């Protein structure tokens, strides 16, 4: 099953993934026998790991290449923070599976979000990566270098 842009927009509009989207991502992780990722995904979902964070970054900064915005129509939720509304008004932040970790982190910070959608070249959803996940991978890479 391929997720539609409507599924993505439903997630953005509601501030959290629709249950059907969670089921699809969970099923794909099971199909690929990625049980550790499935467990982490389940824990992230239950702990509310996809809420927006506010930071003081330069909104004029933009990054070319591996991370790109998707246009988004729709209404804003009153429960979102101001910075989340600013980003969600116009775009969803996406990257590709082979995108640079640092580039994705910078883009997430620049857009004041703590998650990024991971999509294939044909715009099929692969998954979601949180800023916390990015920091864990970065820390693991530093530890292996030491």
Query: What is the rounded CA–CA span in Å between residue 50 and residue 88?
Result: 13
Tokens standing for 89? 């008004």
Give residue 39's pLDDT. 77
What three-state secondary structure class fits 129? Answer: strand
Residue 94 neighbours by CB distance under 10 Å: 22
* Percent share of the chain, pLDDT over 70: 54
Query: What is the rounded CA–CA span in Å between residue 88 and residue 74?
Result: 9
**Which residues are within 8 A (CB) of 115 and not within 5 positions of it... i.e. 6 or more apart?**
49, 50, 108, 128, 129, 130, 131
Query: What is the rounded CA–CA span in Å between residue 15 and residue 5?
Result: 15
What is the residue extent of each domain of the chain? 5-145
Query: What is the rounded CA–CA span in Å between residue 26 and residue 22?
Result: 6
Higher pLDDT, 62 or 38: 38
| pTM across the whole model | 0.43
Average confidence (pLDDT) over 35-58 = 56
**pLDDT tens digits for 93-142?**
899 999 999 999 998 888 888 889 999 988 888 899 998 899 999 999 88
Give residue 33's pLDDT. 84
Please state the three-class secondary structure of 46-62 as a single string: HCCCCCCCCCCCCCCCC
């Amino acid at each position: 099953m391929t997720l539609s842009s409507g599924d993505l927009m439903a997630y953005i509009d509601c501030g959290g993934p629709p249950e059907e989207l969670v089921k699809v991502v969970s099923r794909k992780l099971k199909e690929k026998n990625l049980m550790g990722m499935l467990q982490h995904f389940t824990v992230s979902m239950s702990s509310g790991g996809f809420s927006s964070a506010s930071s003081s970054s330069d909104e004029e900064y933009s990054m070319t290449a591996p991370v790109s915005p998707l246009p988004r129509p729709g209404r804003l939720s009153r429960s979102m923070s101001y910075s989340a509304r600013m980003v969600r008004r116009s775009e969803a932040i996406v990257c590709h599976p082979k995108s640079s970790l640092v580039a994705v982190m910078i883009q997430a910070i620049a857009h004041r979000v703590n998650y990024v959608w991971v999509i294939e070249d044909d715009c099929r959803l692969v998954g979601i990566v949180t800023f916390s996940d990015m920091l864990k991978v970065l820390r693991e890479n530093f530890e292996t270098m030491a």
